[in-house]
Amino acid sequence: MGAVQPEFLQLLSWDPHVRVLLLPRSHPQFSGEDCLVAGCDKMSYFAHQKGMCTGCTERWKKGDLPFDEFVTIRRSGRIVGFFPCQVAHCERPGRRATLLCSSHDYQRRKVYGLPLEDFLAHPEVQPLPALAPCRVAACDRQGETGGGYCMPHADQCRDLRQAGALEDEDLWRLTTPAIAESRKVSLRGLPDRVVAEILFGLQERIAQRLLHKDYLLRNLSTNARLQQVTSLDELDLDVLSRHDRTQVRGFLKHIRRFGLSPETERHKDVWDASVFGLGGTFSFTGITQPWLRE
């Protein structure tokens, strides 16, 4: 981690205890076009989406509204991410329908029987501390359910059980990804070395002015977690998509160059020309006489 600049970590709102990257929307190498749909805070990355995010594009295709009318209708529906309980200073996640965490909602309905406004003003209503983290290694949400999962992961686990597709729940907890949120990339559940490699590789690629999409960075983290690697160079590229393979190779290029210098290269038969400020390599393998090659 010493090779990653503090300014870069600050740019990504990096907290070593939370281990979640937050890509700054204002940064030109992390941003896309704002989704045209009113009330949507996601971004559009692809030309075929006509300026809409993936979710809004799918909703539009399923409906029968003209495009110009569809984008003016304010998007409603579920809130992705942490929605705080409305009891002052309560650290637990709330529900959009009730505006309260499950404990305070039960208290309001079953104990006091009060309207929300009166309940929030009741002197005996106290904030509650945060729950333990979700048991899914990649997840930074609170474990709200009896099984210790956040609600979305609890639903996933239940569906897999019902389908008979959950053979090893411990392995599922280690390998399943975090709930996708716009601009967020979870590095939780990854070995320290892999985390450091991703941060360093991303820093170097940003220095080269390369663009990065949040979903591809999530794929990188997810693939490392699925394969349970201890270093990115252990990834099996053959099972990855073309875009994911390209991204991994880009990260590996910078990781492998870390610590190289003219002094380290001069002892090899093939030199990495980047240490001399050039592209490509210098190969001396065609020189058959050992003394001349030396």
Per-residue pLDDT of 122-179, as tens digits, reads 999 999 999 999 999 999 999 988 899 999 999 999 999 999 999 999 999 999 999 9
- Residue 133, token pair as written in the block: 């983290």
Contact 237, 251 (CB under 8 A): no
- Residue 189, token pair as written in the block: 């559940």
Q: According to the model, what pLDDT value does residue 30 have?
A: 83
Higher confidence at residue 6 or residue 35?
A: 6
Does pLDDT of 43 surpass 80? no
Does pLDDT of 234 surpass 90? yes
Does pLDDT of 78 surpass 60? no
What are the sequence ranges of the domains in the chain? 6-16+183-257, 33-70, 102-170, 262-293
Q: According to the model, what pLDDT value does residue 47 have?
A: 63
Does pLDDT of 12 surpass 70? yes
Q: According to the model, what pLDDT value does residue 26 have?
A: 81
Residue with tokens 């899914």: 136
Does pLDDT of 103 surpass 60? yes
What digits encode the pLDDT tens for the residues 250-267?
999 889 888 777 777 777
Query: H helices within the chain, ranges in order?
Result: 6-11, 54-62, 67-70, 102-106, 116-121, 151-162, 169-175, 192-207, 214-226, 242-257, 262-265, 290-293
Of 227, 141, 225, the closest CA to residue 187 belongs to 225
Task: Give mean pLDDT, residues 19-29.
Answer: 89
DSSP annotation of 138 reads T
Does pLDDT of 75 surpass 90? no
Confidence grade of residue 42 (pLDDT, cut at 50, 70, 90): confident
For the ranges 34-48, 135-149, 226-240, which has the lowest average pLDDT? 34-48
Contact 5, 165 (CB under 8 A): no
Q: According to the model, what pLDDT value does residue 274 have?
A: 77
Does pLDDT of 112 surpass 90? yes
Residue with tokens 């716009």: 182
Q: According to the model, what pLDDT value does residue 79 have?
A: 53
Which of 37-41, 88-92, 267-271 is modeled with the greatest confidence? 88-92
